[in-house]
Structure 1
Amino acid sequence: MVSRQIQLLIQRSSSAAHLLQLHSLVLKTGLDHNPNFVSHYIYAACSISIDFSKLVFDHIPIKPPLFAWNSIIRAFTNSSNPLESLNFFFQLHRIGLKPDNFTYPFVLKACGRCSIVGVGGPVHSLILKVGFDSDRYIRNTLLRMYAACGAIGLARRVFDEMTVRDVVSWSSMIAGYVACNCPLDAFKVFQDMKLANENPNSVTLVSLLSACTRLLNFRAGESVHCYIVVNCIGIDVALGTALLEMYSKCGHVEKAFQVFNSMSENNLQSWTIMISGLADHGHGKDAISLFTRMEQTGLVPDSISFSAILSACSYLGLVHKG
């Protein structure tokens, strides 16, 4: 009963200071010796303060359960310090605790974020050794890891060895080719995807539009847009931003502006791309007007936004305005 009450209090916490107050209660009740409680404690604390979670993890008087290890590894993988995730994984190995099919995707993602194929490769070998290579989620994460590290050949090998591919597998391979500046290969994979009767999702289409942008291939980009319309695929911020960037970079700023105005939601990136597109194609006044509209929405411009508007001012000779 006490354990449940403290768990609820931890879940409702919003700061490390509050967690610290609750921690004294955890120590008094001896719950730090309860493996099940410790697992949920670390899991909940990771979403509030990763530094506090690490402190608790390092000082609990029992051997942390695998669930707690996975929680702390996942938290650091998604943090600004993914390298720490790998350090925890090495510790896990040193104490002889076996990772499970949840551990490996977090570790592979950290390798990708750090671009450390020298660690990702040996982790891949471990996955083969323990027999998790048939796990589709792990294989998709392996593919993304190699692509993120620039090892597109290894990513393709993982892809080719898949006996079953889902939309995530296809999309990851396409995105990997685009990220590694191989847009033509991305289109080839998309053609194979269609032959396999696998329907693309919005993530796939964002990558395809990025490939069109890299190639400055307006016709291909327009055909992707037609596919989106014909198949009634909802245009979210990511897909809308990819569309307007493709049209802008391909010199069709009017079409980009139509997409921009049709979007139900815009973020700083979409505003900035549209402002840059207008400025780069001789619509300086429209770019300044749009920048003013953006400020009125409450969005705070970043260095890229300011660079775009300065370009517009320079084009118009409005040095004082800039």
Structure 2
Amino acid sequence: MAVRGVFPNGLVAAKMVAMYASSGEIDAASRIFDNATEHSSLLYNAMIRALTLYGITKRTIEIFFQMHSLGFRGDNFTFPFVFKSCADLCDVWCGKCVHSLIFRSGFVFDMYVGTSLIDMYVKCGDLIDARKLFDEMPVRDVSTWNVLIAGYMKDGLFKDAEELFEEMPIRNIVSWTAMISGYAQNGLADESLQLFDKMLDRDSEVRPNWVTVMSVLPACAHSAALDRGRKIVKISTLRSSYAME
């Protein structure tokens, strides 16, 4: 649907951008943004979110810096989308620029913003800055821990990941699967299977799901434990059947 001759104000434009973007019409959303008679933080947030969700990463960054140059300040809604775009571009320099812009505002220590920033550093391969920020955050949730653990496992820093995993106050299925998958992908079959076995213990706070099962199966191939793999699939199938009854 083409949008022509529409010149809405900031509030209406923000709602229209969100509406068109959710309907798959990102070009129409962009035209609404460009034709708005006034801009606001709300409108910029709506456009940044829309562009990020459609993977238009470079434009997202451009819109953010335009927003900042005009004196509109982002918030804990804006920055996670911007950091995601930096991560998708693997542009750690850009991410650091945004980090420096928001440092004095205190948003960097918002749990959601901080986690997205750590994720950006991890995906760009900068685990030193990721860990520094992690240690500085006053409040962290399980997602914050998981992001850094996954980064350590991806880079083969197993001891760092193991230490974090053991220190976690609460673990969820993502925590366990990140470790199991990381071991398996790096050829540490025994470690992967041992950790999977811990999930099967009666005292385990988290049970494996199908993602975990798919993550541990390569370890069975590495260790030539094909029978073990068949048993894991069988057990998981039975448990899934019980869960559905």
TM-score range, shorter chain: 0.7 to 0.9
Question: Quick check: 2:156–2:186 contact (8 Å CA) kept in 1?
Answer: no
**Equivalences for 1:232-271 in 2 at 5 Å?**
233-261=206-234, 262-263=236-237
**Equivalences for 1:26-175 in 2 at 5 Å?**
27=6, 32-47=7-22, 48-60=24-36, 62-175=37-150
- Deviation, 1:206, is 1.8
- Deviation, 1:129, is 1.8
Question: Quick check: 1:116–1:149 contact (8 Å CA) kept in 2?
Answer: yes
**Equivalences for 1:215-226 in 2 at 5 Å?**
215-226=186-197
Q: 1:130 aligns to what SS in structure 2?
A: coil
Q: What CA distance in whole angstroms lies between the structure 2 residues aligned with 1:255 and 1:72?
A: 50
- 1:129-154 deviation per Cα after TM superposition (whole angstroms, max 9, x unaligned): 22212211111111111111101111
Question: Quick check: 1:147–1:179 contact (8 Å CA) kept in 2?
Answer: no
User: 1:229 is matched with which residue: 200, 204, 215?
Assistant: 200
- 1:51-106 deviation per Cα after TM superposition (whole angstroms, max 9, x unaligned): 3212221223x223322221221232233332221111111122221111211111
Q: What CA distance in whole angstroms lies between the structure 2 residues aligned with 1:207 and 1:77?
A: 25
**Equivalences for 1:177-196 in 2 at 5 Å?**
177-193=152-168
Q: What CA distance in whole angstroms lies between the structure 2 residues aligned with 1:81 and 1:245?
A: 35
Q: 1:33 aligns to what SS in structure 2?
A: coil
- 1:220-260 deviation per Cα after TM superposition (whole angstroms, max 9, x unaligned): 22232223323363544432321223333443233333444
Instruction: Look up the equivalent residue of 2:189 and give its one-letter code.
Output: F
- Deviation, 1:43, is 1.0
Q: 2:125 aligns to what SS in structure 1?
A: coil
Residue 181 of structure 2: aligned partner: 210
Q: 1:105 aligns to what SS in structure 2?
A: helix
Instruction: Look up the equivalent residue of 1:175 and give its one-letter code.
Output: A
Q: Say if 1:40 and 1:245 are closer, same or farther in 2 by CA, change over 3 A.
A: farther
Q: What CA distance in whole angstroms lies between the structure 1 residues aligned with 2:222 and 2:19?
A: 44
* More relative contact order, 1 or 2 (CA 8 Å, 6+ apart): 2
Residue 308 of structure 1: aligned partner: none
Instruction: Look up the equivalent residue of 1:54 and give its one-letter code.
Output: S
Q: What CA distance in whole angstroms lies between the structure 2 residues aligned with 1:228 and 1:252?
A: 18
**Highest CA radius of gyration, 1 or 2?**
1
Aligned residue-pair number: 235
Instruction: Look up the equivalent residue of 2:34 and give its one-letter code.
Output: D
- Deviation, 1:49, is 2.2
Q: Say if 1:249 and 1:40 are closer, same or farther in 2 by CA, change over 3 A.
A: farther
Deviates more, 1:65-74 or 1:249-258: 249-258
Q: Say if 1:33 and 1:215 are closer, same or farther in 2 by CA, change over 3 A.
A: closer
Q: TM-score, normalised by structure 1?
A: 0.66
Q: Say if 1:249 and 1:92 are closer, same or farther in 2 by CA, change over 3 A.
A: farther
Q: TM-score, normalised by structure 2?
A: 0.85
Q: What CA distance in whole angstroms lies between the structure 2 residues aligned with 1:152 and 1:245?
A: 26
RMSD: 2.4
Q: Say if 1:232 and 1:152 are closer, same or farther in 2 by CA, change over 3 A.
A: closer
For structure 2, list consecutive stretches of 5 or more residues without a partner in the other structure: none
Q: What CA distance in whole angstroms lies between the structure 2 residues aligned with 1:55 and 1:234?
A: 48
